Chains A and B, each alone.
Chain A
Amino acid sequence: DTGVSQNPRHKITKRGQNVTFRCDPISEHNRLYWYRQTLGQGPEFLTYFQNEAQLEKSRLLSDRFSAERPKGSFSTLEIQRTEQGDSAMYLCAYRRGAATNEKLFFGSGTQLSVL
Chain B
Amino acid sequence: GDSVTQMEGPVTLSEEAFLTINCTYTATGYPSLFWYVQYPGEGLQLLLKATKADDKGSNKGFEATYRKETTSFHLEKGSVQVSDSAVYFCALAPLAAGNKLTFGGGTRVLVKP
Chains A and B come from one and the same complex: no
